[in-house]
Chains A and B, each alone.
Chain A
């Protein structure tokens, strides 16, 4: 394997692009912060902090989805990921970085007492409200701060341990016993991550971070919905990096067979997202109870109508019809197009989940949203590129590597 290009070098063009995106984003961020974030008008404040919040949560969750992808494939003893596993690993190094940004934004909202974003921060309103009083055991600043800190810290730490373990596969060939123990330790570490992931992304974190904006409303589907949204976007992000590296002449051992499997993930989880979207929508539509329909009122009949149904077209109809054929999932151009579309679609999904509750009266999707998006994309490109260049692109002594090389769908 001496002839393989396993050392990624960050191209100058990529650096230029990431700095340009970050620069443009930073201008938008700072301008927004001073004109809106620190303005006396509460509406402007909510607009700025809400935008920053959904962007940082979105990027943290989709980068964390990479680690979940590694974990589930490791737990399932799936071999096919080995030739490109360093990509999800590199993407998951973003969790501490984006996690810190999310943490800072959330702490500003909580400690700065922004009760226009989280209504339950208003102690007087909670005392006078039997519903919020009943939820106070869960929805209170102390629990929020502790649980958020613990969540981000453990995502980062457990993910770091999984990446650390895989470095052993770079060093020396393994004999049978060593390989067996390597796989066993990998299983234990990824299992720990998966359990913590289930406790956070699968249930509590979306409730705390996003659903509690509508403090009176709740949906038991919400966390699953958020998780799938971030997971399918995370898989698309892996696909984009894979195709980028492939275009640059790296990843010689990864090919259409691997792309096909990633395409299947994108296809299947788009359908699963729709399943949850519809389950949440239909039950509330059918029961037609005002306490529940309040969430959909301004989304289906109000100003968010366009975005709400655009969401369904981009995230369901397009993947369903375009990615259905086998040839489409094996086509680099089509998968690139669909990956960009899916990431954008789920970003819009997060937009309507957060901003749809914060600014019910009108849609202000504009320079601030796209500016902050550019800022996060720039950070992502810069740091994932750096992380990729730090390790060989293939862990060449991994016991499952051969299975991945001869992988065939």
Chain B
């Protein structure tokens, strides 16, 4: 993980945020992320994010579940411990479908939740830097990553011009680390600042 320099601009209106995102991108700044209190439709397109691969991962987890269930049950019932159940054939596919279905759903669901948490860097006992506490309340918080060429005061003024109500400059760790939100430790205080 790495410490980086960020400029943060806070907006309180979607209608202001969208043109601002567009202007910031055309001006050539790199948007680190936009933190919003709720899912904002179309923001991913405005930010130019690529389509998520989460559903492809989900499909692979599901297929894994199907394969696990079918291979496991068929091995048990035809090779390992064949039982005569109601005179049915050992390879009784219809009877296995419900369990196959359940395992498919279970693998896909659990796998996708864990993948999602990993991608969002959410987990118990880990901590992430919060750029603005009101991002969970009523502010749309746009975070811009600085390079060594970025003039911070210019960028702040630019954001204010686009309608930002509040701007500030932060040096922060961008990844997650083991820690607790109720304790203020600074594990990366002396780390080098990485500039793109």
- Is there an interface contact between B86 and A288, defined as CB atoms closer than 8 Å? yes
Tell me if A278 is interfacial: C-beta within 8 Å of chain B: yes
Distance to closest chain A CB from B108 (angstroms): 12
Binary B-proximity of A253-293 (CB < 8 A = 1, otherwise 0): 00000000000000000000000001001100110100000
Tell me if B97 is interfacial: C-beta within 8 Å of chain A: yes
Tell me if A313 is interfacial: C-beta within 8 Å of chain B: no
- Is there an interface contact between B95 and A282, defined as CB atoms closer than 8 Å? yes
Chain B residues in contact with chain A, CB under 8 A? 41-42, 51, 55, 59, 86-88, 94-95, 97-98
- Is there an interface contact between B42 and A326, defined as CB atoms closer than 8 Å? no
- Is there an interface contact between B41 and A285, defined as CB atoms closer than 8 Å? no
Distance to closest chain B CB from A297 (angstroms): 15
- Is there an interface contact between B41 and A281, defined as CB atoms closer than 8 Å? no
Q: List the A residue with the shortest CB-CB distance to B51.
A: A326
Chain A residues with CB under 8 A of B42 = 408
Q: How far is the CA of A296 from the CA of B87 in the complex (A)?
A: 18
Chain B residues with CB under 8 A of A326 = 51, 55
Q: Is the interface of A mostly helix, strand, loop or mixed?
A: helix
Distance to closest chain B CB from A215 (angstroms): 27
- Is there an interface contact between B97 and A278, defined as CB atoms closer than 8 Å? yes
Show 20 A/B contacts (Cβ-Cβ < 8 Å), sorted by A: A278-B94, A278-B97, A281-B94, A282-B94, A282-B95, A282-B97, A282-B98, A285-B94, A286-B86, A286-B88, A286-B94, A286-B95, A288-B86, A288-B87, A324-B59, A325-B55, A326-B51, A326-B55, A408-B41, A408-B42
Chain B residues with CB under 8 A of A278 = 94, 97
Q: How far is the CA of A281 from the CA of B55 in the complex (A)?
A: 31
Distance to closest chain B CB from A299 (angstroms): 14
Chain B residues with CB under 8 A of A281 = 94
Q: Which of A280-317 contact B (CB under 8 A)?
A: 281-282, 285-286, 288
Chain A residues in contact with chain B, CB under 8 A? 278, 281-282, 285-286, 288, 324-326, 408
Q: How far is the CA of A239 from the CA of B59 in the complex (A)?
A: 26
Distance to closest chain B CB from A271 (angstroms): 11
Chain A residues with CB under 8 A of B59 = 324
Most buried by A among B86, B88, B94, B95: B94
Distance to closest chain B CB from A372 (angstroms): 34
Q: List the B residue with the shortest CB-CB distance to A324.
A: B59
Chain A residues with CB under 8 A of B88 = 286
Q: How far is the CA of A325 from the CA of B52 in the complex (A)?
A: 12
Q: How far is the CA of A332 from the CA of B86 in the complex (A)?
A: 49
Distance to closest chain A CB from B44 (angstroms): 11
Distance to closest chain A CB from B53 (angstroms): 12
Q: List the B residue with the shortest CB-CB distance to A283.
A: B94
Q: How far is the CA of A325 from the CA of B55 in the complex (A)?
A: 9
Distance to closest chain B CB from A330 (angstroms): 12
Distance to closest chain B CB from A285 (angstroms): 5
Chain A residues with CB under 8 A of B87 = 288
Distance to closest chain B CB from A94 (angstroms): 36
Chain A residues with CB under 8 A of B98 = 282
Q: List the B residue with the shortest CB-CB distance to A287.
A: B86
Distance to closest chain B CB from A261 (angstroms): 14
Chain B residues with CB under 8 A of A324 = 59
Q: How far is the CA of A282 from the CA of B95 in the complex (A)?
A: 7
Q: List the A residue with the shortest CB-CB distance to B45.
A: A408
3 A-B pairs closest in CB distance: A282-B94, A285-B94, A408-B41
Q: How far is the CA of A324 from the CA of B60 in the complex (A)?
A: 13
Distance to closest chain A CB from B51 (angstroms): 8
Chain B residues with CB under 8 A of A325 = 55
Q: How far is the CA of A118 from the CA of B94 in the complex (A)?
A: 31
Q: How far is the CA of A252 from the CA of B38 in the complex (A)?
A: 31
Distance to closest chain B CB from A403 (angstroms): 13
Q: How far is the CA of A325 from the CA of B41 in the complex (A)?
A: 20
Q: List the B residue with the shortest CB-CB distance to A279.
A: B98
Q: How far is the CA of A99 from the CA of B68 in the complex (A)?
A: 49
Distance to closest chain B CB from A352 (angstroms): 18
Q: How far is the CA of A408 from the CA of B98 in the complex (A)?
A: 35
Q: How far is the CA of A281 from the CA of B97 in the complex (A)?
A: 12
Chain B residues with CB under 8 A of A286 = 86, 88, 94-95
Chain B residues with CB under 8 A of A408 = 41-42
Q: How far is the CA of A244 from the CA of B119 in the complex (A)?
A: 41
Q: List the A residue with the shortest CB-CB distance to B41.
A: A408
Chain B residues with CB under 8 A of A285 = 94
Distance to closest chain A CB from B42 (angstroms): 6
Chain A residues with CB under 8 A of B94 = 278, 281-282, 285-286
